[in-house]
A = this chain, B = another copy of it.
Amino acid sequence: MLPYTPGEQPAPGKTVKLNTNENPYPPNPTVVAAIQNAATGALNRYPDPVATAFRRAAAEALGLPGPEWILAGNGSDEILTILVRGFVGENQKLRLPYPSYILYRTLADIQGATWEQVAFEDGWKLPAAFGNTPDDVRLVFLPNPNSPSGTVLSLEEVESLAAQMTCPLVVDEAYADFSGANCIDLVKKHENILVTRTLSKSYGLAGLRFGFLIAQPHVVSELAKIKDSYNCDMLSIAAATAAISDKTWLGDVVAKMNATRDRMTDRLTQMGFDVTPSYANFVWCTHPSGQHHAMYEFLKNNQILVRYMQFPDWGDGLRISVGTDDQIDALFMLLESHLKNL
């Protein structure tokens, strides 16, 4: 079995990281203060096993009826692992769109389960067949916005797909804060729609490892049996509680990053790239020259790391995370000089 390979993590230093969709801005100072305060607390004691403070604050911030709609995890990666362990047995299947987040496939492999991919149609739409789940498909993942495309399905499309399914649909909303829409109201209406979230992207807390599930209370309580007893630590619970409670900070950083994203889309289009309109904190682009790997290498040699992605039977391209405006300006200059020499 091959392990999942996350994006490259260069040694700290001059490299500009535009390859793993991190937030280029430091986290909310309120969050840093919450951590520093929690560090002087009772670290010798076990944490709250169900992260009650966070779940209350998240329910309030997200307009959910109460904390029983939320399951907190050690990153949304852990939530995804719990979902696969909870719903997919050995020799059963999970389904995912293609191309999308390949970690889902690794999770199936680890579980001794299998996976099947359903290809996006033109314009990053999903065929109705995506919702038609035979008995052996026990879980469907839908990143929305999707990676690498940054595209979204409308809430109506999501609802219609889920209505056909005989198993849970997990809408992975890692990037939803950048899209202006989300499926939380659908979770309230349908027990087979589950939403996962992370604090790694919009909240700028990838180093913290905190994510959560939003689902109907009976789903949350069953999945909670699978998690490790104390899966979230005291520091991250304190930090996540502070983070989710500050909607102003989130709104500001998202607005700033979305403005940069739009600038990236415009400028890359001017350079001749085909840029997919993005609802996330990255853009997916291809160039008529097809020289994507060479561009990736050139940028890397100049201390800018973007993600070169190659999907068999589909194609390749560059996924470029939204950076600070200075970082993006440096990217533009390098790419323009490179394109002149093509």
Contacts and interface: CB of A to CB of B under 8 A. Distances in A.
Interface of A: 1-4, 6-7, 9, 12, 17, 20, 22-27, 31-32, 35-36, 39-49, 74-75, 77-78, 81, 85, 89-90, 103, 110, 112, 200, 204-209, 224-226, 228-236
Given A9-B49, A208-B235, A233-B208, A22 B39 contact: no
Contact of A206 (B40, B43, B204, B228): B43
Nearest to A209: B233
B49 A6 contact: yes
Given A9-B49, A22-B46, A44-B206, 18 more contacts: A1-B225, A6-B49, A7-B46, A17-B45, A26-B42, A27-B43, A43-B205, A43-B207, A45-B206, A74-B233, A75-B230, A78-B228, A90-B90, A110-B226, A206-B230, A209-B230, A209-B232, A235-B236
A329 to B, nearest CB: 20
Per DSSP, chain A at the interface is: loop
A46 B235 contact: no
Contact of A74 (B25, B74, B206): B74
A200 B46 contact: yes
